[in-house]
Amino acid sequence: MRLAILFLTGLFTLADARAAEVDQAAALETLQDEDSLLIDVRSAEEFADGALPGAINLEHDRIAERIASVAPDKDRPLVLYCRSGRRSSFAQDKLQALGYSRVINAGGYDDLLPLLERGE
């Protein structure tokens, strides 16, 4: 029983660590590609309150159903962000499971906005 609990605890720890992985440098570089698509995976309300320039809104819990309408090419570079990077990580996993090969988790809106404004 203890082994099972330790195993499950380890799995949840790994899942949390994975959800926190962000690559802002790769995201900023990818956004230089004219073909890239910047996707805000927050709620429609959060998006309406402020979004990064050029971003479209596909909520993370519906991204699998809606992605083909905006990105039918599974090799198109996709840059995802949310508030903290957690929802964009979940969306990244979903898109990769669907066969999208160039998906980057850029992290959170508040962290990215100043970087984009400075042109980094």
Residue 13 lies in a domain: no
Residue 6 lies in a domain: no
Residue 11 lies in a domain: no
Output the pTM of the full model.
0.82
Residue 67 lies in a domain: yes
- The domain in which residue 104 lies consists of 22-118
Residue 16 lies in a domain: no
Q: Compute and round to an integer the Cα radius of gyration of the chain.
A: 15
Enumerate the active-site residues. 82
pLDDT in tens, 42-65: 999 999 999 999 999 999 999 999
Check which CATH number belongs to the domain holding 31 and give it.
Answer: 3.40.250.10
Cα angle 66, 71, 77 (rounded to 5 degrees) comes to: 125
The residue ranges of DSSP E strands in 31-119, in sequence order, are: 37-40, 56-57, 78-82, 103-108
- Alpha-carbon separation of residue 89 from 1, 4, 51, 70, 71 (angstroms): 31, 26, 18, 19, 18
Q: Report the number of distinct structural domains present in the chain.
A: 1
pLDDT in tens, 26-40: 999 999 999 999 999
What size, in residues, is the chain?
A: 120
Residue 14 lies in a domain: no
